Amino acid sequence: MNPERSASQEALDPDFNEKAREVRQEIGDRLRWIRAHHPEGPFSLEALAARSKIAKRRLASAESEDGANLTIETLVKIAHSLDVDRVAYFIDSQVFEDVNAQLALLREFQTRNVSSVALRTSHAPDIPPSTRAQLQKALMGIVASLDGASEDDTGQR
């Protein structure tokens, strides 16, 4: 980026505008995804609006084709209302994948009526990502072993 360019010049740059539109669209896609796939969901726009205390119209605009310009505060409110502690979920692909894998594990536990799992916060900054990944893999292994143990001699569940 040329330091001599002003913010207003940058905002008029077609490449900048296109990149901003792509980011808004990604945020909208991820918002739709989590509404549909959240372990406590799916959530309608109306339900998420009530839960997050953000206007339904604002949420619908965020999910529209071009997306809305959302403030950091709005993204934080949405994330926290959905119990997603990592706000980067909406803008970082790796965080999006990590959180979705954790939510899938929660859904799996709910499906199997696992009432609780005693874990310290898996998003704590002192736990390296590789350790979190190993923990998640171990938990998925437990789920897979439950599948095998639940089959009877006829191979039926």
What the chain holds in terms of domains, given with CATH numbers, is 7-149 (1.10.260.40)
Count of H-run helices and E-run strands, the chain? 7, 0
Give per-residue pLDDT as tens, 5-29.
556 655 567 788 888 888 999 999 9
How many percent of the chain have pLDDT more than 90? 33
Least confident interval from 77-81, 105-109, 137-141? 137-141
Instruction: Confirm if 91 and 23 have CB atoms less than 8 A apart.
Output: yes
User: Global pTM?
Assistant: 0.65
* pLDDT at position 26: 92
Give which of 60, 54, 53 is closest to 31, Cα–Cα: 60
